[in-house]
Amino acid sequence: MSEPINPGDEAAPGTPGSGEDVCPACHGTGKLEDGKSCQNCGGSGVIQEGIGGG
Ligand SMILES: [Zn+2]
């Protein structure tokens, strides 16, 4: 559990029932319109999204 989770992540990487999805805040670019690094996904452009909900 040493890997940090980004604010946009709904689940930790590798969590069963979750998967990667394009970050809705930066649309996969990893940067915001003002050129700053996207904090929602940590600049990766993708988030870990829970599937199926719960
Ligand atoms: Zn983002």
In tens, the pLDDT along 20-46 reads 899 999 999 999 989 999 999 999 999
* pLDDT in the model for residue 18: 81
Residue 3 CA to ligand 1 center (angstroms) comes to 18
- Residues 11/18, Cβ–Cβ less than 8 Å: yes
Residue 1 has pLDDT above 60, yes or no: no
* pLDDT in the model for residue 52: 66
Residue 53 CA to ligand 1 center (angstroms) comes to 21
Is-above-0.85 flag for pTM? Answer: no
CA distance 42 to 14: 17
> What range does the domain containing 19 cover?
1-54
- Residues 45/26, Cβ–Cβ less than 8 Å: yes
Mean pLDDT value across the chain: 85
Residue 20 CA to ligand 1 center (angstroms) comes to 12
Number of domains in the chain: 1
Residue 6 CA to ligand 1 center (angstroms) comes to 9
Closest by Cα among 44, 39, 36 to 7: 39
Residue 1 CA to ligand 1 center (angstroms) comes to 22
* pLDDT in the model for residue 51: 73
DSSP state of 38: P
